[in-house]
Amino acid sequence: RLSSLINDNRIYIMFAIVFILMAAIAPNFLNLFNIANILKGATLCAIVSVGFTVVLITGYLDLSVGSVINLGAVVAIAVGNAAGLVPGILAALAAGMLVGLVNGLFVTKGKIHAFIVTLGMLSTIKGLLYMITGSASINIKNFQVVSYMESKVLWIFTPKVLITLALIVLVALVLRRTRTGRVCFRRGGNRETAWFAGYN
């Protein structure tokens, strides 16, 4: 039972060990300003990890994540500068969903390995971004939203940290409490067993 408990909660145990070790080694690690900066700096990786976790659970691998992030940023800034913040965000989401749809269709319908598909998508997006930007930086014009997302609204938490935490909780609930989540685990564990269990 102890071994099972440790195995089920190993990520939390590892986090606790690293946290205690850093607190003992770095004198200012437990400073609230430092913790707030760590939380802000971890938001992008955390959001990406949420989606990547679902992909890994289902038994696949996505190598195009970094390029998709860059694509979303470029689209959000370019459209946002021209039409406003909300259209920019919606356009970035649409671009990301389109890439995901294309990847998914090639893998599920085209029967091409996800490693190959996402590697090709990575190169494709890189080339597309080079054509759009000419390898030059794109600057955002409206910094009010950026400043707000970095400002503290609840103790040491900023809006983007709260959004990240909400996303983590939401996906965790979907994976643990819904049929879709159970399908992800069973398909990733054994596709044939999932098929015989009635999951299409």
Examine the pLDDT at 172 and tell me if it is beyond 90: yes
Model confidence over 37-87: pLDDT tens digits? 999 999 999 999 999 999 999 889 899 999 999 999 999 999 988 888 889
23 token code pair: 């607190």
Among 55, 64, 60, which residue's Cα sits nearest to residue 128? 64
What is the reported pLDDT for 138?
84
> Which residues have CB under 8 Å from 181's CB, separation 6+?
174, 175
More confident residue, 147 or 14: 14
> Which residues have CB under 8 Å from 120's CB, separation 6+?
none
What is the reported pLDDT for 99?
96
Residue 143 binned pLDDT confidence (cut-offs 50, 70, 90): confident
Alpha-carbon distances, residue 108 vs 49, 132, 141 (angstroms): 22, 30, 40
Examine the pLDDT at 187 and tell me if it is beyond 90: no
Model confidence over 106-133: pLDDT tens digits? 998 999 999 999 999 999 999 999 988 8
What is the reported pLDDT for 135?
81
Q: Largest Cα–Cα distance in the chain? A: 59
What is the reported pLDDT for 185?
87
Whole-model pTM: value is 0.83
16 token code pair: 């606790």
Among 172, 191, 178, which residue's Cα sits nearest to residue 50? 172
